[in-house]
Homo-oligomer: A and B are copies of this chain.
Amino acid sequence: MIQRQFFDAASSTYTYLLASGPGREALLIDPVREKVDDYLKAVEELSLRLVRAVDTHIHADHVTGLGALRDATGCVTLMGERSRAECVSERLREGEVIHLDGVRLRVLDTPGHTDDSLSLVLDPERPRAVFTGDVLLIRGTGRTDFQNGDPEASWDSIVGKLFRLPDETAVYPAHDYKGWTSSTIGEEKRYNPRLAGKTRAEYVALMRALNLPDPKLMDVAVSANLRCGQSAS
């Protein structure tokens, strides 16, 4: 199994490259446009063939690399079924399984941070890892105050779906701002300060009271990401 995590320091974004081995099909999760050349270099050096690129949701803090990757490799671009991005080739639904040579990822519909957010479970029969986008972060959760975010949906996605995965499932989020690179479902159940020991109502009140400023890149990023990161023609 090849699993590589890349970090974009400008937006604190994690991108993941998955494949079962050299010479085989590969998939990228949450690629950043400015780093596309790096991903392509890794794909080439690892003798992989990029066949899929997924965004877990429409990002508001960086421009996606989906369009550039599709242009460079012909890969299929994927997002959730409620995504407003017109440019993606296929839309993913709850329970659907993405198949590559030796890699299987089950889609969980996990709205809350945005209404189109999904999570991806690696090896669904015996979950090894879950890629959670911005819904569940390490000792945190994604804000719920724009792009049809909803704190009640966020709680239901995390507690009702992600927390039903085995405790030892590794958690790989789309961001971290203090240098942690992974977690587990068990740790987040016990130590996530927004969730552990809280009721749904307490979580909803906490998220509604955050009053965060908009992300610096929000206007640019969201409108670019509706076009898969490519220029308006």
Instruction: List chain A positions with a Cβ less than 8 A from chain B.
Output: 4-9, 35, 38, 42, 45-46, 178-182, 187, 190-191
Contact = CB atoms under 8 A, between A and B. Distances in A.
B45 A181 contact: no
A181 B181 contact: yes
Contacts of A190: 45
A9 B9 CA distance: 8
A40 to B, nearest CB: 13
A179 B4 contact: no
A181 B187 CA distance: 22
Contacts of A191: 45
The 7 closest A-B pairs by CB, nearest first: A7-B179, A5-B181, A45-B191, A6-B179, A8-B179, A45-B187, A9-B179
B35 A181 contact: no
A27 to B, nearest CB: 17
Nearest to A179: B7
